[in-house]
Amino acid sequence: MRRIGSPLGAPRGAISFAFAAVLAATAAFAEEPDFYQTVDRAEVGTEDTFRLNVVIVNAPEDATLTPPDLSDFEVLSKTPVDSTSIQIGSGGSQIQRVRKWVFVLRPRRAGQLTIGASRLDLGGRTLRADAITITAKKGRLQDPALAQRQRRPDPFQGFFGGNPFQGMPGFDDEDDAFPFGGPPDVDIPTTEADLFVRTYVDKKEAWVGQQVTLSVYVFSRVDLSSVDSVKLPKLEGFWSEDIDTPQTLSGETRILNGVPYKAYLLKRKAIFPLKAGTQTIDAAEADITTGYLFAGRRVHRVGNKVKLEVRPLPDGAPRGFATTNVGRWRLSVDATPEEVELGNPVTVRVTLEGVGNVKNVTPPKLTAPPSLRIFDPTLADKPTTRNGQFGGRRVQEYLVMPQQTGTFTIPSLEFPYFDPESRSYEIARTEPIQIRVTPGAAGAVATGAHAATGPVPADAPKNVLASDGVMPIRHSADFSQRGAAVWSRPWFVPAVVSPLGVWLALVGVGLVRARAAREDEGSIRKKKARAARRRLAAAETLRANGATADFYAEVEKAVITFLDARLGEPVAGLTREALAQKLTEKGIPADRQRSLLAVLETCELGRFAPGGADPAARDRVLDDAEAAMEALDAR
Amino acid sequence: MIAALVLATVIAQPSYYSPGEAEALFQQGATAFDQGDYDGAIAAWQKLADHGFASQDVLYNLGTAALKKGDLGHAVLWLERARRAGGPRDDVTANLEAARARQGDKVVGQVGDPFIERIAAASSPDLVAMAFLAAWLGGWALAFVFRFLKPGRRTWAAVLSALLLVASLPLGLLLGAHVWVEKNTHDAVVLSPTVQARELPAPNAKVSFEVHAGLKVRLLETEGAFVRIRLPNGLVGWAEKEGLAEL
């Protein structure tokens, strides 16, 4: 156990003992006794206590003290304190023995109250200590000495660093002088009441994993020289962390059952129960040296046992909860940078900070799409203590190496914990983080697991390519505009009706031609007449050297054609009688009928009867045919 | 001759912007858009649209910038015009859907368009017009060919002519549907944040319903400063013209 005490305390015990032995031979007690009484306050409240010191110096052993009249006061305690001092001067050394009676008093009423005179009988001689008048006021008054102590600067202020929980609920900046709620309820032992060791906790009941503050104090009404060693209990069943270990003895005045004590903190620990049930904390022990120099003495004190009722955590823990996650925590994640070129890493820090056993909590594991390769994290703790609360920050730092370009989302993380103050389970969450991986400037390529093993599995989280649903603008323009609809263009309707127009035109042409054909019937006859004359001319060429039958046949065709044209209907094939009747119907005179029929008769004879080859006969037939045709034309 | 000269003069009339100026203005808008200056982008492209360069590219960018800016009314207006200017391209359709998704009105009980409008919307008017014209002229041409071919060698012409003329019949009907829709349907987009539709064309008439920016409505008739609108679900009311823009 580490030694606790004043820096001068260690050598002083041995040195003062030797020094006192050397001086003892020449030392002499002062002969004249001294007797007086004092109070520590001249003005008190009726609810205050104050001390009356009755001091006897160098009194003989048989001296008898008669206490003062204290009828106006309530005597809370009466304690003798003995001390011895050595004064070394030119005349040798003197030993001064002092006995002091300390009365703790409380006024019974308000007003001017008198502490009567005390008497000391020395066996024939009586010494008197003067009466003391004090002013008692109703109520409670500020103790000037205590106020002065409170104004004293706290030497530990800022020693443990700044407040990491500034602004968090339940973590204000209260005075840290006595963090467990005022003076402890300490039972003063019946023996060794002037100096004892006490261990106490700030709560009698706690949840598993909840911080309990354990403090070990020395309470003393005598001067304390040093604490040579402290033996703390083993604290089995607890996780413990030191939160206060004073390096020098610094006592504070505490009133226990109305008796003023100096309280010296030896150790303060944050302990975290690991299992439910009634837990007993063994007593602390300490070796303490009291007094100074030759009057010092070393005593051993054993403290008290402490019982703590540890409750199990309630049912209904959320998924992923670990029993060590007790306290009040805040979870955060940050990625640096959030936009990175392929081939460069991203640092992702998962930070868990708050109040609780920071060394025994596990931040949630980072997850990410397979396109982001996550390496094992490094762990860094920064435990802090503020207002007696153990906590701090635990940071897991991951190195994340992108395997492909794109925008990827590191999903939200959750840390379920039990809050002892609200007695409920809470979940600390982080927001998702998007990491944008751009192509490397130097054409970096992925070299990680997925690049080596092939495509991402189908059931793996996908590369998130989210957008706002708006397609990008066009960066090149074609300014040619779409024209009017085809059907509304000027040429469309004419094109549609054009076939009908063509059809109508053709019909019209046909009609015109038909009509034109009807009007030229006369010319048709003329044409036929002209054809008949051409046939007659052809027959004339056959007259000289042609075949007889051919000659007459040609003449006959010329006459028949001529009759077709003149009568307007075909006459070929008609008998002579039918032809004569047709000629009569057409109004052809009889003499001309006879001449025509004679020509036809001659031609028929010439074709089939011999003798027709006579040239004269051929000439006569030609002349008759011409004459008959001219006769009809002339009609 | 004189008419030809006048036509040539009109055709050769110089544009407000030269091609280089138009391209520079377009790129100016694109740069502003990329920097998040949507107002600047709209101003640049609006100049192009106002001076005869309202191609689909320009109108689409205008609609996209308005959508980014949060001006749903103009976003829908310009994107609808872009769709009509160059057909339903993927990006135009996507941004129109995005704009409609952000539109504040939910038309309940939406009924479909009439059959004639649906079949017109399902086909390209130009394609229908050209198909009809080809079938019609081809049928007649083959009929004429048939007339001049000798018997025994003209059966094919008769068959093809009949097929084409029969095919031209439904194409003609479809073309007629397009013409009818074009001549008789007028759509508009709500531009104002809120437009009140009243029971009568009067400022103090009872309000039937409200429509909000970006909603596409059908224009039925006009009376004074009011226009009668119909929603896709058949709701009808009179709205002030100022809050609407016809497509």
Could you state, in order of their start, the residue ranges of all structural domains in chain A?
Answer: 31-151, 195-311, 327-453, 521-633
In the sheet where A205-207 sits, what is the strand order? A205-207, A306-311, A277-281
Question: What percentage of chain B carries pLDDT values higher than 90?
Answer: 44
Give pLDDT, residue A98. Answer: 81
Task: Among 2.60.40, 3.90.70, 1.10.540, 1.10.10, name the CATH number for the domain at A327-453.
Answer: 2.60.40
Please list every residue in chain A whose beta carbon sits closer than 8 Å to the beta carbon of residue B133.
486, 492, 495-496
Query: Half-sphere exposure (CA, 13 Å, Cβ side) for A427?
Result: 12
Mean pLDDT for the stretch of residues A495-521: 84
Q: Taking CB atoms and an 8 Å limit, are A473 and B30 in contact across chains?
A: yes
Q: Taking CB atoms and an 8 Å limit, are B126 and A486 in contact across chains?
A: yes
CATH 1.10.10.10 fits B186-246, yes or no: no
Give pLDDT, residue A4. Answer: 36
pLDDT digits (tens, 9 = 90+) for B173-223: 999 999 998 888 899 999 998 899 999 999 898 988 888 999 999 999 999
Mean pLDDT for the stretch of residues B62-79: 93
CA distances, A475 to each of A635, B19, B29, B95 (Å): 97, 16, 9, 16
- pLDDT class of B13 with cuts at 50, 70, 90: low
- The Cα–Cα gap between B35 and A198 comes to 72
Give pLDDT, residue A449. Answer: 42
Q: Taking CB atoms and an 8 Å limit, are A502 and B144 in contact across chains?
A: yes
Tell me how crowded residue A621 is: count the other CB atoms within 10 A of its CB.
24
Q: Taking CB atoms and an 8 Å limit, are B90 and A471 in contact across chains?
A: yes
Q: Taking CB atoms and an 8 Å limit, are A474 and B85 in contact across chains?
A: no
Residues within 8 A of A (CB atoms), B 139-198 only: 139-141, 143-144, 147, 175, 178-179, 182
CATH superfamily of B2-102: Tetratricopeptide repeat domain (1.25.40.10)
3-state secondary structure of A269: strand
- pLDDT class of A3 with cuts at 50, 70, 90: very low
Please list every residue in chain B whose beta carbon sits closer than 8 Å to the beta carbon of residue A494.
none
pLDDT digits (tens, 9 = 90+) for A314-355: 998 888 888 889 999 999 999 988 888 877 889 999 999 999
Q: Is the pLDDT of residue B109 over 80?
A: no
CATH architecture of structural domain A195-311: Sandwich (2.60)
Give pLDDT, residue A534. Answer: 83
Residue B137 contacts A where some CB pair is shorter than 8 Å: yes
Mean pLDDT for the stretch of residues B152-179: 91
Give A510→chain B minimum CA distance, Å. 13
Residue, of A508 and A158, whose pLDDT is higher: A508
Helices (H) and strands (E) in chain A, counts: 9, 33
Mean pLDDT for the stretch of residues A561-588: 84
Contact residues for A22 (Cβ-Cβ < 8 A; gap 6+): none
Q: Taking CB atoms and an 8 Å limit, are A499 and B33 in contact across chains?
A: no
Give pLDDT, residue A352. Answer: 92
Beta-carbon contacts below 8 Å between A and B: 95
Mean pLDDT for the stretch of residues A44-59: 85
Contact residues for B171 (Cβ-Cβ < 8 A; gap 6+): B128, B131, B132, B135, B136
- What is the residue type of A489? R
Give pLDDT, residue A88. Answer: 57
Give pLDDT, residue A177. Answer: 36
Q: Is the pLDDT of residue B7 over 60?
A: no
Closest CA relative to residue A536, chosen from A548, A554, A550: A554
Residue A474 contacts B where some CB pair is shorter than 8 Å: yes
What is the helix (H) or strand (E) element at residue A286, kind and residue range?
Answer: strand A285-290
Give pLDDT, residue A398. Answer: 92
Q: Taking CB atoms and an 8 Å limit, are B95 and A470 in contact across chains?
A: yes
Residue B20 contacts A where some CB pair is shorter than 8 Å: no
Please list every residue in chain B whose beta carbon sits closer than 8 Å to the beta carbon of residue A476.
57
Q: Assign 3-class secondary structure to A458-513.
A: CCCCCCCCCCCCCCCCCCCCCCCCCCCCHHHCCCHHHHHHHHHHHHHHHHHHHHHH
Give pLDDT, residue B173. Answer: 93
Mean pLDDT for the stretch of residues A259-263: 82
For A291-369, strand residue ranges (E) read 297-302, 306-311, 327-336, 339-341, 346-356
pLDDT digits (tens, 9 = 90+) for A303-312: 888 889 999 9
Give B245→chain A minimum CA distance, Å. 21
| Average per-residue pLDDT for chain B | 87
Residue A177 contacts B where some CB pair is shorter than 8 Å: no
Show the DSSP H helices in B51-149 as ranges. Answer: 56-69, 72-86, 90-102, 115-121, 125-148
Closest CA relative to residue B132, chosen from B84, B87, B88, B178: B178
Q: Is the pLDDT of residue A246 over 70?
A: yes
Give pLDDT, residue A91. Answer: 54
CATH code: domain A521-633 is 1.20.120
Q: Is the pLDDT of residue B1 over 90?
A: no
- A15 DSSP β-pair partners: none
Please list every residue in chain B whose beta carbon sits closer than 8 Å to the beta carbon of residue A471.
64, 90-91, 94-95, 98
Quick check: do A31-151 and A521-633 share a fold? no
| Average per-residue pLDDT for chain A | 78
User: Nearest residue on chain A to B178, judged by CA atoms?
Assistant: A487
Give pLDDT, residue B188. Answer: 94
Closest CA relative to residue A279, chosen from A186, A226, A206: A206
Q: Taking CB atoms and an 8 Å limit, are B19 and A479 in contact across chains?
A: yes
Give pLDDT, residue A9. Answer: 35
- The Cα–Cα gap between A167 and A174 comes to 13
Q: Is the pLDDT of residue A214 over 70?
A: yes
Tokens at A565, concatenated:
């044209």
- The Cα–Cα gap between A96 and A33 comes to 10
Please list every residue in chain B whose beta carbon sits closer than 8 Å to the beta carbon of residue A490.
none
Contact residues for A546 (Cβ-Cβ < 8 A; gap 6+): none
Tokens at A145, concatenated:
């000495």
Question: What percentage of chain A carries pLDDT values higher than 90?
Answer: 14
Give pLDDT, residue B118. Answer: 85
- pLDDT class of A175 with cuts at 50, 70, 90: very low
Residue of A470, A478, A481 with shortest CB distance to B98: A470
- The Cα–Cα gap between A517 and B241 comes to 69
pLDDT digits (tens, 9 = 90+) for A133-174: 899 988 877 666 555 444 443 333 333 333 333 333 333 333
- The Cα–Cα gap between A52 and A38 comes to 6
- The Cα–Cα gap between A632 and A562 comes to 9
Mean pLDDT for the stretch of residues A606-629: 79
pLDDT digits (tens, 9 = 90+) for A61-99: 788 888 898 989 888 778 777 777 665 555 556 677 888
Contact residues for B203 (Cβ-Cβ < 8 A; gap 6+): none
Tokens at A349, concatenated:
């820090």
> Predicted ipTM?
0.78
Q: Look at the domain A31-151 and name its fold.
A: Immunoglobulin-like (2.60.40)
3-state secondary structure of B146: helix
- The Cα–Cα gap between A288 and A4 comes to 9
- pLDDT class of A447 with cuts at 50, 70, 90: very low
Mean pLDDT for the stretch of residues B22-32: 91
Give pLDDT, residue B34. Answer: 85
Residue A470 contacts B where some CB pair is shorter than 8 Å: yes
